Amino acid sequence: MRRIGIIGGMSAESTALYYAALNAAVRRQLGGLHSADLVLRSLDFAPIAALQAEGRWEEAGAILAAAARDLERAGAEMVLVSANTMHKVIGQVEAATRLSVLHIADATGEAITRAGLSRPGLIATAFTMEQPFYAERLRKRFGLDVVIPAADDRARVHAIIYDELCRGLVTEASRAEYVAVAARLVRGGADCVILGCTEVG
C-alpha cells in the first residue's frame, strides 16, 4: 500500500469526505482493521478563498506547492489535492515535488469514458465551471463535450458552495436547487453530471 499525501482543508468538509472514502476503499480491499496509510496537510481555507476571489492564483499555488513539499518530507509516496478548484494550480504542485500527483479531472474522465458516456454536465465552483483548466482537460484528454450551466445557475451554485457547503450547512432548499440545475443540464444534452466540487456530493 502506497502512503498517500493529501493536500486538504479546501474546505475541511471536502477533506473529511476524502479521508472517509479512502479508508472505506482500503477496508473493502483488505478487510479487517486495515485503514489508509496517509499523511494529511490541512490548510486554512480562508486565506486561499480570499486569493481565489482576488484572482491571485499564483500565490495560492505557492501555498499548495509548499504543502506538497511538506508531504514529501513526511514520507508520502504520492500526492492528491482534495479540491477540484485548486487543480487550477496543479502545475505548481507538480513542479514542487518528485512525487506523482493525481489529477482529479483524469480520474473523472476515466470514469465517464468507462461508463460509455461523453457529454457530462459540470456542477462546481464558478472558477471550475467558467475557467478552462478542468473542462479543457476533459475535452483534450478524453474527448468529452462538457456542458456548463447557464450564468444564473452558475452564480447560485457557487454561492451555495461557499456560503453553505464549505461551512457544513446542507439545506433541502439548496439540494432542490442543485437537482433543478442538474435537470436543466440534462435537458441541455448532458448524459451525466459531474459533481465537480466535493462538497456537492
CA atoms within 13 A on the CB side of 96: 22
> 173 - beta bridge partners?
none
The CA distance from 40 to 56, in Å, is: 24
Contact 57, 85 (CB under 8 A): no
User: Which of 56, 74, 79 is CA-nearest to residue 5?
Assistant: 79
Q: DSSP for 78-99?
A: EEEES-SGGGGGHHHHHHH-SS
pLDDT in tens, 73-90: 999 999 999 999 999 999
**Res 52: pLDDT:** 98
- Residue 15 region, left (φ>0) first, then alpha (ψ -120 to 50), else beta? alpha
Phi, psi of 38, rounded to the nearest 5 degrees: -145, 160
User: What is the three-state SS of 15-62?
Assistant: HHHHHHHHHHHHHHHHCCCCCCCEEEEECCHHHHHHHHHCCCHHHHHH
What does the block give as the cell for 56?
Answer: 491571485
User: Which of 10, 141, 25, 16 is CA-nearest to residue 81?
Assistant: 10
Cβ atoms within 10 A of the Cβ of 52, count? Answer: 20
Phi, psi of 21, rounded to the nearest 5 degrees: -65, -40
pLDDT digit string (tens) for the chain, length 201 residues: 789 999 999 999 999 999 999 999 999 999 999 999 999 999 999 999 999 999 999 999 999 999 999 999 999 999 999 999 999 999 999 999 999 999 999 999 999 999 999 999 999 999 999 999 999 999 999 999 999 999 999 999 999 999 999 999 999 999 999 999 999 999 999 999 999 999 998
